[in-house]
Amino acid sequence: MRKDYNKYLRLYAISLVVVSLPFLFNFITIYNACEVMPYEAIVKMQQKLNAIYGSALNGNLFKYKLEMAKNRRPAIIVLGSSRVIGMRKQFFHGSFVNCGLAMSHLNEGAMFLEEVLKFHRPQVILLGLDFWWFNAAYAQPQTYPDHDASGTGNLLYKIKEPFTWFAKDRISLRTYLAIMLFRNNRNKITNYDNMGVLAIKDSNGFREDGSYLHAETIFGFNPTFEDIKFKQTLEFIDKGGLRFEYGQRVSPERVKDFHKIMAICRRHKIPLVVYLAPVAPSVYQKMQTMDRKYAYIGELRSYLQTLPVEFYDFYDIAEITARDCEFFDGFHPGEVLDQRILLQIVEQNPHTILKKYLNLSLMRAKVKEFSGHVLTEYHKSRYNFPETDFLHLGCKKKGVGGARGLSGAGSQGRFKLTREN
């Protein structure tokens, strides 16, 4: 009887070990990929390594950018949605952090500023506005419970998630083993150190200054890119959804939220420079044919001209460039176009508060050199491939288009950030 019991225990223990091993391997993998680190530690390591950070499991960008601002204590902060994340520190003199994506709505932007001002007062804030923020048809949450996520929570979900990646072909076994066994954080696309599964796979993620590198798509390795020839953006407009909801009037409630941002800056005596972010020229032309459905945008542009702060309207970017090639997609400007915007601000207003912070000579040289590109190639040693015509618009790029079909490529369209509970 006792022998049978001991045999049972051994079999049970062996079975437990066998069943537990895959979960243990998953934990080691996500641990080595920095997917269970607190944001404070992530930022410190990223600054030390000059790494790209792109997480497949953590989505609290409010907290991440707050920790970045706390770490760098910047003189210049760029604030806005994903449409400002092409702004880079090389464009500016002085300490800089791109806090793009810390806010996805106006009220969230006010919350972020309040948090930053608890530990630091920047010298100037550059705020990029999205027109849809002022449309009542575009939903705006009143609370943001995800802001409390530390980066270390939801561990059970994180340990199980690699099984889903394999089932949906989101990660190759080679990449998984390289992370688990060798703590590999490099890929063939760039020469950066990388943190987070998205970055380790394809160098998709945030640079140490808070700007974002879409390496997989820009260098021609993303077979799931959905906005070729702006197809997806134009469908959004036709259907009136996903930021492009139709609207007749500017929302008074959203105006109040925006006034709160201006009041915070005024109260702390921080110069605020505001601009309305652009859409691609062909997208703008499409929206103009439907101007009655987007009547609120015209009202918004008129209202913004009355602001008691510096304001610049780049919704129609034709004055700067009539080309679509410097956009990442239908409504995200690339780095070259962001430099054109900064140069145009100085052109329109030689007395702008921004002027003393801008590296004008460098930007003029880079805009000339990389006209028609999304990426400004400051460090050629960082990139193993040239920029491609990933939009399929016939854009002329320097060099020959990059190779395709890299093992494990395609994550940008298929991985989705998971916010912690």
Q: Supply the range of the domain harboring residue 256.
A: 25-408
Q: Would you state the pLDDT for residue 29? A: 97
In a domain, 1, yes or no: no
Dihedrals phi, psi of 287, to nearest 5 degrees: -65, -30
Please check whether residue 149 is in contact with residue 60, taking contact to mean a CB–CB distance below 8 angstroms.
yes
Residue 215 lies inside a defined structural domain of this protein: yes
Residue 285 lies in a domain: yes
Sequence-distant (6+) residues with CB within 8 A of 97 are: 65, 68, 69, 72, 74, 76, 77, 78, 209, 210
Q: Report if pTM > 0.75.
A: yes
The answer to the question of residue 420 being in a domain is: no
Whole-number pLDDT of residue 398: 81
- Looking at the structure of the chain, the number of domains it has is 1
| Distance, CA of 405 to chain centre | 24
Residue 389 in any domain: the answer is yes
pLDDT along the chain (421 residues), means of 10: 65 68 94 97 97 97 98 98 98 97 98 98 98 97 94 93 95 96 96 97 98 97 96 97 96 98 98 98 97 97 97 95 94 98 98 98 96 88 94 85 36 39 30
- The whole-number pLDDT of residue 160 equals 96
Instruction: Output the pLDDT for position 381.
Output: 85
Q: What does the pLDDT read at residue 418?
A: 39
Helical H segments across 123-191, by residue range: 155-167, 173-182
13 lies in some domain:
no
What's residue 413's pLDDT? 38
**Res 20: pLDDT:** 84
